[in-house]
A and B are shown apart, each in its own frame.
Chain A
Amino acid sequence: MPKLNSARELEHLRERLRQQRQNITKTVMVGGGTCCQASGSRAVIDAVRNELSRQGLEQTIRLCVTGCHGFCEQDPVIVIEPGNIFYCHVSPEDAFEIVYQTVMKGELIERLLYTDPVSGEKCQTETEIPFYKAQDRQVLSQNRMVDPCSIEDYIVAGGYSALARVLNNGITPDKIIKEIKESGLRGRGGGGFPTGRKWQECCEAPGDEKYVICNADEGDPGAYMDRCVLEGNPQLVLEGMMIGGRAVGAHKGYIYVRNEYPLAVEHSRTAVEQARELGLLGNNILGSSFSFDVDIARGGGAFVCGESTALMASVEGKVGEPRAKDVHTVVDGLYHKATTLNNVETWANVPSIILNGSSWFASKGTKGSKGTKILALAGRIKNTGLVEVAMGMSIHEVVFNIGGGAVDGKMIKAVQIGGPSGGCLPVEKFNLPIDFDILADAGSMVGSGGMVVMDERSCMVDVAKYFLNFLQDESCGKCVPCRLGIDRMLEIITDITEGRGKLEQLGLLEELAETVSETALCGLGKTAPNPVLTTLRYFHQEYEAHINERRCPSGVCKALITYWIDPDKCTGCGVCLRGCVHGAITGEKNQQHVIDVHLCQKCGICRSECKFDAIQVVSENEVSRCSST
């Protein structure tokens, strides 16, 4: 394709592509993101493609392999337009029926429709599904209809209109920054720093050579919206970066992406190549004086590289250690040049703000948190997946209305928001809105938007221990508070989970946590104690049970529990016996089985495999009662 030399040529191309697609009567959209592929969507895609070609329908029916649709629990999913028909858990064997019955004859296939677990009713269209209905999909809106490896798809969907407007309608960098400032957009990566202010400071910083960076080093366990956006619609992120580059006066950008996201790496590389081919990256973009290019830098699997200064060191090919930010990166960043670093989701919000105006964006959300936020709903909940809602929606609505509530008839106990820098909020706090400032006041944070729901089966002391383990492993070790503070906190928590805890240690734990958060070098260190502080604040009774009664109320902490087979429920089927690698279970076929507590490693595998719920967890101090029965 020839390079585009003006906004007019871009519009011509868009028109031409739309005309070429006029004879397409139906589009079959299949999710091909990482989650979808994990669920076997590749085979489904191949089967549908073969079926379409077998029926000679390739010219009129378009098969569009998109990124993640967000309702990952139901993968592989297929959406057929027009008609908005939504099929879930599709298998390759369904391809013939889907093409013959639905695509050709317009009939629905009952068994592939989604059943709402709450009402038990079938949903015929995607928009009817409660999971989607309560959402306000802006950033994710194109994910279901754009092939991430096709810049044409993005252009047909209206892509690069915002860039064209900026470059050809004389929107000066000042005006772009003003627009972003007025929109109230705040950083989606965790900090929530006002994006417009960041851009302005970078724009005003001295020097001709400046950089923009897209932070796609999504290291927060439990969050994957950046993967989904970059993987599903990389051109949107590129367009945002170009507008940002124009605003701050940068000619070079980097996408720093996690190597654990191979598909995101591949798709962003393809996107950059395609944009270069069309002249949307390179010199004199769309005939303007603006030149800009983007390179991809792969991360090395270090959580700390999500921190801006560490990330920049890593882009330079060095060890990713943060540095003190007495001079901000907007002035002294990558290669000591002024640098604007924003998260994937932040960049992806930019084009629509330019197109629809700041007041459109600011009309959504709360006073201090504007626009929408993508949340990753995961854990012990019915509907897991990516959820985009207007800021200000309550946690309760997200967890129960969209997420569908608890699984296995259990009670939801807490939600962990914001990853290792965030905190655990109890059910009583579920009326709080998704809002940067309000969640921070409650001791948690919106962070990158990971929401892991926990029920009565999760021990909150163990959760705090999990995060400390994570952070101890990931601390770069440069500053003392983080390196040693986390170690000492972990020691105390380990004591508590192993029954050696003392009540007076809780005060020490709190003091340590506060010291680390006040004195650590980087943002990650400063927020590292949040999981400990919030669990101490909201789940104090669980800490007390561990210390005073040597009892883990959720039956998780290994040192405080014993596994026991209930003779009334055991059928002697032998599944647990075969599953136990430690040889701790004995018993004849069809006779009651017994666990030898001296051999038992308390791994819990037997319990997860028993179909009769016969294997029970009991407190150490209840053991005598069990053995006497």
Chain B
Amino acid sequence: MQPKTLEQILEGRRSQPNQLIEVLQDVQRTFGYISQDTMRTVSQNLGVPLIEVYRVASFYKAFRLKPSGKYVLTFCTGTACHVRNANLLLDQATSYLGVQPGEVTTDGQFSIEHVNCLGACALGPIVTEDGSYHHHMTPAKLRKLIETIRNQKTEVK
């Protein structure tokens, strides 16, 4: 079961410094990023110095220290996707949404991430959004995907 609070994440892991990465993984997954307050609580509960928590949180790419957009578009830039023009997609996304990888659009809706390989190399280039994989992507398909996500949002409203 997916934990919902920091309390639940820390349950059974207190005073175990080796659980630091596992705890941060769950924090990242539950809250979307790791805040300073969370780092402090984790530091106290696991018995790991705050500087070490920050060091680990900033070292690994899986962790974000700032909130991300509501929808995160992740671009695979692995070798297989690269030779099939994954850079076109990143170019398209950055210019279409007006943000660079790691940034959030001003309306807080979209952010762009890139990842070194998602392991679906045969189907590249790959873009993922909310756990679903979009394969053999082209700039046109990407624009459509972004628009579909935008429209879904207005429908929900």
Contacts and interface: CB of A to CB of B under 8 A. Distances in A.
Interface of A: 34-35, 37-39, 72-73, 75, 218-224, 227-228, 258-262, 297-303, 314-320, 376-380, 384-386, 416, 419, 450, 452-454, 458, 463, 466-467, 470, 474, 476, 579, 581-582, 601, 603-605, 608-609
A34 B119 contact: yes
Most buried by A among B62, B81, B121, B133: B121
Given A317-B22, A385-B122, A605 B92 contact: yes
Contact of B25 (A298, A450, A458, A581): A298
B139 interface: yes
A535 B149 CA distance: 42
Given A35-B123, A384-B121, A605-B91, A260 B79 contact: no
B18 A316 contact: yes
A24 to B, nearest CB: 31
Nearest to B96: A581
Contacts of A470: 116
A608 B123 contact: no
Contacts of A222: 78-80, 117, 121
Interface in B70-117: 77-85, 88, 91-92, 95-96, 115-117
Nearest to B60: A300
Instruction: Classify the secondary structure of B's interface with A.
Output: helix
A378 B124 contact: yes
A259 B83 contact: no
Contacts of B65: none
Contact of A379 (B61, B80, B131, B133): B80
Interface string B129-143: 001011100111001
Given A454-B83, A609-B140, A220 B21 contact: no
Nearest to A607: B88
Given A260-B115, A317-B17, A581-B95, A380 B84 contact: yes
Nearest to A318: B56
B133 A297 contact: no
B39 interface: no
How many interface residues does chain B have, given as a range? 35 or more
B139 A605 contact: yes
Nearest to A466: B82
B61 A300 contact: yes
A509 to B, nearest CB: 21
Given A316-B18, A605-B92, A605-B139, A302 B61 contact: yes
Interface in B13-54: 17-22, 24-25, 48, 52
A314 B21 contact: yes
27 contacts: A34-B118, A34-B119, A35-B120, A38-B133, A73-B122, A219-B117, A221-B116, A222-B78, A223-B119, A260-B62, A260-B115, A260-B118, A300-B62, A302-B61, A317-B22, A317-B56, A318-B20, A318-B52, A319-B55, A319-B59, A384-B80, A384-B122, A384-B123, A453-B83, A458-B83, A608-B88, A608-B138
A516 B122 CA distance: 32
